[in-house]
Amino acid sequence: MKLVFATNNKNKIKEIKSLLTDSLELLSLEDIDCYKDIPETSETIAGNALQKAKYVFDNYGYNCFADDTGLEIDSLNGEPGIYSARYAGEKKSAEANMDKVLTKLEHIDNRKAHFKTVIALIIDGKETLFEGVAKGEIMLSKSGSKGFGYDPIFKPDGLDTTFSEMNTEEKNKISHRGQAVQLLIAHLSVTP
């Protein structure tokens, strides 16, 4: 079966391709000649993931899945949430986004937060959602050089290191995206 991952992020494609069975042929947006900036106008993370998957299914006719991720901080009423990638502006700068979070939390004691990833899968028109959540807290400053996005300021519960201080294998075992991907893979392994 051919399955499109509605992304052009080569690292995400490579990571998921290594986890899937040989019976699935994973394609990127580039592989199906989709070079459009797929809209993400939903008010929820799940809605954005589903919107991207439906766009590919409706316009290109491929079974597909898409993901969306957000960082939700308790004391900021769930910000940045669906705006995580562009929290500090449309340039989508991870450094600027982290700086904005750290500034907003400067005099706040409650630094509890969680990452949420939702993967929306559409096979033959049937929609299925998979969710992963990693609970933790926002650090006082950035730490670590691995990962991407908010990883240098997010420390998962029960650990003394940020996501950015972990190698990919360690992070994937406990991360929000890792959890959602494992649910997707388990579902695909029983799908005829």
Active site positions, annotated: 68
CB atoms within 10 A of CB 190: 6
What is the 3-state secondary structure of 28-41? CCHHHCCCCCCCCC
Q: How many residues does the chain have?
A: 192
Separation of alpha carbons 148 and 161, rounded Å = 15
Enumerate the H helices of the chain as residue ranges.
Answer: 10-17, 45-60, 94-104, 168-174, 176-190
CA distances from 155 to 22, 142, 148, 166 (A): 35, 10, 14, 10
Separation of alpha carbons 17 and 158, rounded Å = 30
At residue 73, what is the residue type? I
The arrangement of strands across the sheet holding 64-73 comes to 25-27, 2-5, 64-73, 112-123, 126-138, 154-156
161 phi/psi in degrees, rounded to 5: -125, 155
